[in-house]
Every structure is written in structure tokens, then in C-alpha cells.
Structure 1
Amino acid sequence: MKIAILGTRGIPNNYGGFEQFAEYLADGLVQRGIEVSVYNSHNHPYQEKVWRDVEIIHCYDPEDKYGTAGQFIYDLNCILDSRKRNFDIILQLGYTSSTIWGWLLPSKSIITTNMDGLEWIRSKYSKPVQRFLEFAEYLGTKFSDHWISDSIGIQEYLNQKYKLDSVYIPYGAFVFENPDDKDLVAYQVQPYQYDMLIARLEPENNIETILDGVVNAKTKRTFLVIGKHQTKFGEYLKSKFQSSEHIKFIGGIYDINVLNNLRHYSNIYFHGHSVGGTNPSLLEAMASSALICANRNKFNSTILENDAFYFSNAKEVSFILETEEKSNQQVKVEANFNKIKEIYTWNLIVEQYLNHFKQIYSIGK
């Protein structure tokens, strides 16, 4: 099988969740003898034509010139290039800027699409953009032969709304078993004496709710906010909480080992994501043996079950901060760690994708 992966800015990961997923999946597939090509932005830092035996295809990406509109041009360029090649299967990651070009996908290739989360619900988007994204989601159901859901909630949603039978394959994570507290020095924190969150600073990630709870809690442990904050909403948050000296806006950290150590040694790790499927950062927190407090929604509870605390408002955040400590909750921590080893380890996820590819390849168009 010759498989192409479209829908990311490229690998190795230098941006976000889909890029990380594409990196791990492509690497795992080539190790199993599959021929894999990944489309990269022409200005990706990695400029070689091969990465760990994965073919890298660079396409022109004018996002730096035109902003969001450039993403649509980049996706169009990737799809047009794919028509020149003989891919057996094309895996599309997401639909936000690609499915309007779905009618141009090569007819001889089998198209399977990871439908991502409910992008059109995200509150950061204006109403017209939300309507467009819902339409793009609809197009994703029309210009694909097969569909993948990365959470049970998304699978049920697609079935109820579009009568689609999608295959459920979650994201994965690598277990983190060799923590080292030396990475804490740079952030002036001590093991289990701080709380934290890692997220894009966007409204639907409930960061403001979490920080309201942090401010109102009687405890004044250091709270680390990790995520790029040079955004309109990020500036708003920094301004609102500037008088709370124990809240530290760290900015983005992209070294996975540093992130894992920070998660591992945190007292409570807050996961506020409320939109989307299986979030990679949640699985990484589980794999890092973090005690997790998550926003109460189906996407999170399907993964965490009873092995986490949940919050719906700032008052509940304050209560959890005041009453819970990591040292008293090892049962939850160990249960989530075991889920990574038994259910969400990358080796199993790659095998599930490989089985999916083999099945649809045997069926054909």
C-alpha cells in the first residue's frame, strides 16, 4: 500500500496535535513496511525529502502572507499534487480548510478522513465562520469513502447527524517512566507544590474559568499556564489576572520531555478542553502520571471515567484546589497510567490504523 497523509503543516511536529499525530503514525507505519508520504508546508523547518524513511512532499503554503486564507491555498496545492501520484489511500486529517476542495481528490485513491472535533462549535469563531465550518464538516462526509472518529462522542455525533458509520480510533501517547525534576528549576517550582494547565489560550478551553477558581481558592500555590499567550484572548487573560502573582503565564513549551516532567511533578493538572475528540495533551498527562482535574464533558469522561476530578465552574475549581493533593490520589493516577499502556499506547493505535487501511484497501473504491 502507498499511503499519503494530508491536512497538517508537516512533520516532524513543529506546530500542534495533528502534526504530532502524523509524525507518530507515519513513523509507525514505515516501521511496519508501509510506504508513506506526508505533505509539508514549503516553509516547514525540515526541508529534506525523507524523514525516517517517510517521503516528505513540500507544497507551497502562503499562510505567512495571507493568514487563514493561505491554509485553503496550501490544502488545494496538496490535493492537486496528490492527483499526480498513485496513492492507494489518502488519509485526510481534519476538514476545516480542505473539504471545499474534496471534489478534486484523486478518484483512483481511497479517501479516509479523521473528522477531528466539532470545530464549528468553537467560540473563538464568529457566527459566519462557524456556519462555514459546519458546512465544511458536511463536505467531509460527502467527499470521503471512509471516516475515522477519535472519540466515542464524535463517533456518536457523526452517526446521529449524518448517519455515518465511522471507525473509532483514538490518539495515542508514550508512557513517561523516567521523570527528572531538574526541569522544574527554570520555572521556580518544587515537586508537587504547584498546579498547572497546558492549552491554547482560547475561550472553549475554559482557562478563564480555571483561573477564576485559582484566584478564589484559599490556597495560593503557584499556578503555571503553559501555552502561547501572544493572542487577543491571551492578552486579555494576562491583564485580568496580572494582580495574582502566583499565576505564571509561561508561554509555549515544545520540548516533550520538559512538558512531561512538569506534568508529572504537578500537584493537580487541569484539562479544560470542552470541544473536540480525544485530546493529545490529556493522554500525555495520563502518561506522565499526573493527577487530573478535567472539564466535565463527554469527550473527557469517556477517557478518564472515574479516575479524575471534574469541574463545571470556578467554584468547583476552587474546592478541588483547596481539598485535594496528588499524594492522596495514587489510585486515580495509576489507573490512568495503565490505560495508556493497555489502550492508548502508540503501538496499539498504529496497529488499529494499519488494520483500518488493510480493510478499506481490500474493499477498494
Structure 2
Amino acid sequence: MVGTRGVPARYGGFETAVEEIGKRLAAAGHEVTVYCRGERYGDEYLGMRLVYLPAIEKKVAETLSHTGLSMMHAFREKIGRDGADVALVFNAANAPLLPVLRTLRIPVATHVDGLEWKRTKWSGAGKRYYRAAEALAVRWSDALIADARGIQDYYRERFDADTVFIPYGAPILDGTDTAKLAEAGYEPGGYHLVVARFEPENHVHVAVDGYRRSRAAKPLVVVGSAPYADEYTATVKELAGEDPRITFLGGVWDQDLLDALYAGALTYVHGHSVGGTNPSLLRAMGAGASVLAYDVTFNREVLGEEAGRFFADAGELAAAVEAAEAAPGEAAERGQLARKRAAERYVWDDVAAAYERLCLDLAARRTSRRAARSR
């Protein structure tokens, strides 16, 4: 499993997927190797073998440089012993390196993620690179994995390429740790919540602007930050101004506290727009949070029409926040519908089983993008 920061999952959706899928594959008896960068946590984690390699710590080079070193490590292992039966490569940006694995005759499934070229953090050159990388992923992968039907549609329409649909799973939380909330100074149902990396396509600025325009009595708690995003962070905080109702917590790495914040929120404001099925949205749904989501295809696909409310701009969000405070019972009912939907449709055991089937098919050379059409 290559192309992410590795495990334990401390950063984002890819890392969470690697941990949840990898530990289940290991428990099923498979040998799982995860390539990691950053802080070391030992040589093994939840049954997965960890290999640590460095990376160039620059936005444009971090992922690709680490994946390149990982591919070379895989090359040496293949020469020295049997090597891997299958490679799961996360992020289409790594596609230019796929010929290394093809040279080793290791079947490759590439998780293409969302529409990375739409992210505003990339310049014109960056956008062109990601568009080209998508095409290379189509050309050089033995299978493409899409975590949303909207991503499947995009690859079918743009490249006439088939993908295997495997979504993420949602953690289903049984209750709120009120002690954690109390320690942080909050009570259940007493605040609105945003959890996101500070990037324009996650619309943290719209969430803050919309809330500030509202007459909400309950505070807004904003969790998150981002490397390489100082200018955008400054913009978000400028929009907040001196509004005493808005609190920025930065990154929250205590997962128990983060889960308690999700479960205790009156509303969870989800502004993500380009990343397919979003793990933060699934976590909020699994916690029973009442979701106010930015109105894009991906979010409607995950929530359906009954388990959330949608907004297109700051004005619509302000009205939705006020409505939730006026009718908290209705907001709570939507949260329970979201939790039920997550428990039925986004199950990590099912996700891992789908990855296992795909890997076994690839190892047996039974799967190609054409063979995956009916999946």
C-alpha cells in the first residue's frame, strides 16, 4: 500500500483507508506492507509491516518523491525475493511512477481519489500535471478504484475508462464522551462544528462567513489547519473578525475528543466539494451529527435527500444554522437518519472485503478495467 503518509492514520482520508483496510487484510492472513513517511511508530502496526522512507518536504514534490523511493524499495525487494503480489497505489498523482511496478510485473490498482486538479492550491502547471496524471493512471493501472459514483462518472465520460466502486467506511459512534466535551468547555447540542483542512475547495471561508451573518446564539467551533495554506488561513480568520462566537481550535489529534465534538454538535457544517466520498462527512454521519453540506454531487450522493441539508452560499448557510437552532429536534432527527444511512451503506468490513476480492482477482490476473465494468 503506497502513496500516502502511512499509518497510524494521523492526517486524512487516504491514511484512514489504509489503516482500516490494511488491518483487516492482515487479520485475514494476508501479508500487508505500508510505505510511510514522517514520524516512526515501529516496524509493525495492527499486523501491517511498516517501511519508512523520506520525502522532499515541498508541496509540489512531497507525495511523488516519497512514492518514487517506495517504488525503488519495492524494486529491490522484488529482486531479492518474491516481492508483492499486488500494489494498491493511492492518488492518481503517483501515476508517472507506475511503470516501475509494471516492469516488476506487479499488478496495480490505483485509487484515483477526487478531482485534484480542481483544488485551488495548484497553479496552472499543477493543474495540468494532475490532468495528465489522470490519463496516465488510466493507461498504466490494471484497475482503477473510485470511492464515489460521481468519480466513476467522471472517468467514464472523460476517458471512457471503467472503475471499481469501493467507498470508504464510516465509524459508527455509540455515544458522546460528555466528559471530554466538558473538559473542552462544550456541552452536547451547544455548538456548531466545522472540521476541515484549510483549503478553498473545502469552503471553510463560506462556513465562517455564513455563520457570522447568522443570528445564531450557539458558538461555531472550527477544527483544522493545513500546511502551505497561510494565506487562506489568514483570509478565513479575517472573515471571522472579532466575532466572539467563533473559536478556532486548530488541529485536534485526540481522536476521542474529535469524536465527542462530532457527536455533540448541533450541526456539522461540511464544505468539501472536490474529493469524492469524504471521510470527515462519514465520521460526522456515524456520530449522528446533523449535517449542513455544500451542495455538490458527491455530498448529495453520500447523504441522500433526507439525511442532510444543503447550502450553496453563505446566505443559505446562515439561514440553515438559524433553522437548526429554532428546531433542534428536527436537526437531531436528521442526524439519526444520517447515522442509519452510514451504518447501512458505509461499512469498513464490506470495504475491506471488496479490496480483498479485487487484490485476489488481480493476483490471479483475472481483472482488467474492462472486466470491472459490472462492479
Tell me if structure 2 keeps the 8 A contact 1:217–1:322. Answer: yes
Q: Which moved more, 1:280-289 or 1:250-259?
A: 250-259
Structure 2 residue 255 is matched with structure 1 residue 256: yes
User: Which amino acid in 1 is paired with 2:48?
Assistant: V
Partner of 1:35: 31
Structure 2 residue 125 is matched with structure 1 residue 128: yes
Tell me if structure 2 keeps the 8 A contact 1:82–1:106. Answer: no
After TM superposition, give the deviation of residue 339 of structure 1 in Å: 2.1
Give the one of 323, 338, 341 matched to 1:339: 341
User: Which amino acid in 2 is paired with 1:62?
Assistant: I
Using the alignment, how far apart are the partners of 2:40 and 2:51 within structure 1? 13
Partner of 2:51: 57
- CA distances 1:240-274 after superposition (whole Å, capped 9, x unpaired): 31211111111011222211111111111100001
Partner of 2:40: 45
User: Which amino acid in 2 is paired with 1:275?
Assistant: V
Tell me if structure 1 keeps the 8 A contact 2:110–2:145. Answer: yes
Using the alignment, how far apart are the partners of 2:358 and 2:338 within structure 1? 26
User: Which amino acid in 2 is paired with 1:45?
Assistant: R
Query: Helix, strand or coil: the match of 1:148?
Result: strand
Query: Helix, strand or coil: the match of 1:76?
Result: helix
Using the alignment, how far apart are the partners of 2:156 and 2:289 within structure 1? 33
Query: Helix, strand or coil: the match of 2:162?
Result: coil
Identical positions, percent: 29
Give the one of 196, 201, 204 matched to 1:204: 201
Partner of 2:242: 243
Using the alignment, how far apart are the partners of 2:95 and 2:196 within structure 1? 26
Using the alignment, how far apart are the partners of 1:155 and 1:10 within structure 2? 25
- CA distances 1:226-252 after superposition (whole Å, capped 9, x unpaired): 002672211221133121111111101
- CA distances 1:138-157 after superposition (whole Å, capped 9, x unpaired): 11111211111000000110
Give the one of 131, 151, 155 matched to 1:154: 151
Tell me if structure 2 keeps the 8 A contact 1:195–1:266. Answer: yes
User: Which amino acid in 1 is paired with 2:89?
Assistant: Q
Using the alignment, how far apart are the partners of 1:320 and 1:210 within structure 2? 11
- Normalised to the residue count of structure 2, the TM-score between the two structures is 0.91
Using the alignment, how far apart are the partners of 1:291 and 1:71 within structure 2? 34
Using the alignment, how far apart are the partners of 2:199 and 2:56 within structure 1? 24
Tell me if structure 1 keeps the 8 A contact 2:201–2:273. Answer: yes
After TM superposition, give the deviation of residue 67 of structure 1 in Å: 4.9
Partner of 1:9: 5
Structure 2 residue 107 is matched with structure 1 residue 110: yes
Using the alignment, how far apart are the partners of 2:365 and 2:136 within structure 1? 23
Tell me if structure 2 keeps the 8 A contact 1:291–1:332. Answer: yes
Using the alignment, how far apart are the partners of 2:50 and 2:8 within structure 1? 10
Query: Helix, strand or coil: the match of 1:263?
Result: helix
Structure 1 regions of 5+ residues with no counterpart? none
Partner of 1:92: 89
After superposition, where does 1:208-247 map in structure 2 within 5 Å? 208-228=205-225, 231-247=230-246
Using the alignment, how far apart are the partners of 1:331 and 1:223 within structure 2? 21
Using the alignment, how far apart are the partners of 2:218 and 2:175 within structure 1? 25
Using the alignment, how far apart are the partners of 2:170 and 2:322 within structure 1? 30
User: Which amino acid in 2 is paired with 1:267?
Assistant: L
Partner of 1:317: 317
Partner of 1:82: 74
Distance 1:67 1:323, change over 3 A: closer
User: Which amino acid in 2 is paired with 1:22?
Assistant: V
After superposition, where does 1:301-316 map in structure 2 within 5 Å? 301-306=300-305, 307-316=307-316
Partner of 1:72: 64
Distance 1:194 1:330, change over 3 A: closer
Query: Helix, strand or coil: the match of 1:6?
Result: coil
Tell me if structure 1 keeps the 8 A contact 2:290–2:338. Answer: no
Q: Which moved more, 1:347-356 or 1:324-333?
A: 324-333
- Normalised to the residue count of structure 1, the TM-score between the two structures is 0.93
Using the alignment, how far apart are the partners of 1:302 and 1:70 within structure 2? 31
Tell me if structure 2 keeps the 8 A contact 1:268–1:326. Answer: no
Tell me if structure 2 keeps the 8 A contact 1:117–1:275. Answer: yes
User: Which amino acid in 1 is paired with 2:275?
Assistant: G
Query: Helix, strand or coil: the match of 1:225?
Result: strand
Partner of 1:287: 286
Using the alignment, how far apart are the partners of 1:217 and 1:122 within structure 2? 28
- CA distances 1:37-69 after superposition (whole Å, capped 9, x unpaired): 11112x4331x2222221112223232xx5532
After TM superposition, give the deviation of residue 308 of structure 1 in Å: 0.4
Structure 2 regions of 5+ residues with no counterpart? 368-375
Tell me if structure 2 keeps the 8 A contact 1:198–1:281. Answer: yes
Using the alignment, how far apart are the partners of 1:232 and 1:187 within structure 2? 28
